[in-house]
Structure 1
Amino acid sequence: MIANRLAVVSRSLMTSAVRRGGDGGIPGGNLPFQIKNRFRLTALFTVFFGSGLALPFVLVRHQLLKK
């Protein structure tokens, strides 16, 4: 009985959230960056992941050069 009520409540919450979606299911509509220009997207991904990969090496170099 209680499980049945919980199922109904969770189902109603999920459907109301989907109805309030807003942008109508446009691919990439909820992303914080544009995906239409693939060259710009590639550059952004390269900078984002490249900076994360390079950071430990830059920090080690900084530590080794300190006096």
Structure 2
Amino acid sequence: MLMNRLAVASRGLMTSAIRRGGDGGVPGANLPFQIKNRFKLTVVFVAFFGSGMALPFVLVRHQLLKQ
């Protein structure tokens, strides 16, 4: 009985939060970057993930070249 009430309450809370969102379910409306320009998006993704992947190798090279 209590579980049913909790399920109904949480279901009502989720749907009201979606209704209040206001973005209409447009893909990419809630992202902090634009996804309309594919070339720019690709460059930003490569720079972001590439810098994270390259950082350990750059640090190891720096340590090995220190005298």
| TM-score, normalization by structure 1 | 0.93
**Distance in 2 of aligned mates of 1:62 and 1:9:** 57
Amino acid at match of 2:19: R
Q: Give the corresponding residue for 1:61.
A: 61
Q: Give the corresponding residue for 2:8.
A: 8
Q: Give the corresponding residue for 1:33.
A: 33
* C-alpha RMSD of matched pairs (Å): 0.8
Amino acid at match of 1:45: F
Query: Structure 1 residue runs of 4+, over 2 Å off?
Result: none
Amino acid at match of 2:62: H
**Distance in 2 of aligned mates of 1:29 and 1:47:** 22
**Distance in 2 of aligned mates of 1:23 and 1:8:** 25
1:47 has 2:58 as partner: no
Equivalent residue pairs, number = 67
Identity %: 79
Helix, strand or coil for the counterpart of 2:36?
coil
Shift of residue 8 of structure 1? 1.1
Runs of at least 5 residues in structure 2 that lack an aligned partner in the other structure: none
| TM-score, normalization by structure 2 | 0.93
